[in-house]
Chains A and B, each alone.
Chain A
Amino acid sequence: MHNELILAGFGGQGVLLIGKLLAYAGMKAGLEVTWMPAYGPEMRGGTCNCTVVLSDRQVGSPVTNRPHGAIVLNLQSIDKFEPLVRPGGILVVNTSLINRPAVRTDLIVVPVAANQIALEAGSAKAANMVALGAFLGASGVVSPDLVRDVLAETFAGRQKIVQLNQVCLSKGFEIGQAYAPAMAGR
């Protein structure tokens, strides 16, 4: 098991946070993990991304230009990262903010209206969690229960935030799961 993932969006959409949650959950699952934020000049202009590697062996490079999957929350991110995902990889697309379909036909594309779903659940701020849930549903890289635990630990004492995020994670997970059978035999 070796997964290199890129999570990308605008600054403020919480892509670094869902990357950390994913890495933390991977660590709890007993995997080797790295989380690496892009901190260079590509950050100027408000875009933001991080790379998470989850593996059953020691992680080599913490950055990648051939990810096994990507979560893209805005248009700039799909433009930049869709071409890089390995054939057969998962691309979670936030259709609330991305007004074009994915171009690649060799990917498992998971469209999810993350902002709308999060807004209906209580706050559009939790769109990142919907997208993460969708990715977990489609990929099965780590159990959503572990992410729920990590959420409860990270936001200990802030029950409303934990609850909202957990609900959004679950909603995304259900959507993602519909794409999971396509993963069989991978």
Chain B
Amino acid sequence: MAKKLMKGCEAIGEAAIQCGCRLFFGYPITPQNEIPEYMSARMPQVGGVFVQAESEVAASNMLYGAAGAGRRCFTSSSSPGISLMQEGISYLAGAELPVVIVNIMRAGPGLGGILPSQSDYLQATKGGGHGDYRVLVLAPSTVQEAADLTMEAFDLADKYRNPVMILGDGLIGQMMEPVEFKRRIEPEDLPEKPWATTGAVGRGPNIVNSLYLRAEDLEQHNLALGAKYRAMEAEVRHETYRTDDDPDVLIVAYGTVARIARTSIDNLREKGLKVGLFRPVTLFPYPAAALAAAAARAKHVLVAELSMGQMVEDVRAVVAGRVPVDFFGRCGGMVMTAEELAEQAEKLLAVPA
């Protein structure tokens, strides 16, 4: 398929269709309304279903039903809406249901504002709702990657029987870039899900549930989930930029900020300063081993986020004091410029390590 110029939101929607998803449940909220808008037009064209739910809570429980029946399905929302969905997401994780949840983050807390932010990192990567659980979190940095990761998200959700979250921000959602859809799968060609509640014809009944009243049983369930989350570590992924010569400052950033950092790094390199980028693509599981190795070769680590400092907690845990870790963030919907990020990196180099 030829490259098309698409908004990140539209590319996510089309990617879902291309990988055999025919069910969308959601409730409008800026800055991701282009996803439901796109799905409302596209789903009927491909024999799929678009439902504008009465609320985000309802949408997340519709996912539970659809995924329980073995069908690929997804929802999208933005920060306050994702908070409302957390009850359902916890149930989805508990019942081990494969769904894709897209969070196009806006600034918070509360209703906050509609501009881009990365302030839901902790919510996304540490569970989000109640109970011991994790969702796999993928953070695209370009529109093409938003499409690619959305397709992979459905595969990973099925592979681990677990919710997978695409964590973007308003910039990724609203921006247009060229995008190409690299594969197409029809729903009927997807692998069967023998655990799903598809009608117990010629087999015993399947049960999809998150209720375990006996503590012994629930502990076993928690242990099994824990083992699954550890197994997900096989999926860790990251990207580096200009790190071949062991840069003095290693910038760690994900999503939109990582692309801003690339510009900062290009500009600093022109001045002869050795600065590179480590970009986690999976936020849970976190690419800890690769980051530890990259950080060990740097004099400073600089974490840049559109938040008050959330991922920096994971970076500090990984680096474990071996290298100083500094933080630079903009918040409230303000987007850092490449110049101000470069300035932060330069400041670190001005001080002897």
Contact = CB atoms under 8 A, between A and B. Distances in A.
A60 B265 CA distance: 10
A33 B178 contact: yes
A161 interface: no
Interface in A80-121: none
A115 to B, nearest CB: 27
A27 interface: yes
B337 A61 contact: yes
A23 B176 contact: yes
B292 to A, nearest CB: 26
A49 interface: no
B333 interface: yes
A20 B178 CA distance: 11
A60 B5 contact: no
B31 A61 contact: no
Contacts of A23: 5, 176
Given A27-B5, A63-B335, A34 B176 contact: yes
B174 interface: yes
B22 interface: no
Interface stretch (B40-48, B87-95, B255-263, B293-301): B255-263
B3 A37 contact: no
B337 A65 contact: yes
Given A35-B176, A39-B170, A60 B263 contact: yes
Contacts of A46: none
B333 A62 contact: no
Q: Which of B170, B171, B175, B264 has the most CB of A within 10 A?
A: B175
Contacts of B266: 57, 60
B113 A40 contact: yes
A40 B171 CA distance: 11
A33 B174 CA distance: 14
Contacts of B262: 58, 60
A166 to B, nearest CB: 20
A152 interface: no
A173 interface: no
Contacts, number: 64
A158 B337 CA distance: 41
Contacts of A35: 5, 175-177
A70 B259 CA distance: 23
Given A34-B176, A58-B262, A40 B335 contact: no
Interface string B313-350: 00000000000000000000101011100000000000
Interface in A1-51: 20, 23-24, 27, 33-37, 39-41
A2 B175 CA distance: 18
B273 interface: no
B49 interface: no
Contacts of B259: 58-62
B197 interface: no
Contacts of B333: 40
B261 to A, nearest CB: 8
Interface string B143-183: 00000000000000000000000000011001111100000
A61 B176 CA distance: 12
A62 B178 CA distance: 13
Interface in B1-42: 3, 5, 30-31
The 10 closest A-B pairs by CB, nearest first: A60-B263, A35-B176, A61-B260, A36-B175, A40-B115, A60-B262, A62-B175, A27-B178, A60-B259, A24-B5
Given A39-B170, A60-B262, A65-B337, 12 more contacts: A20-B5, A33-B178, A35-B176, A36-B176, A39-B30, A39-B174, A40-B115, A58-B259, A60-B263, A61-B263, A62-B171, A62-B175
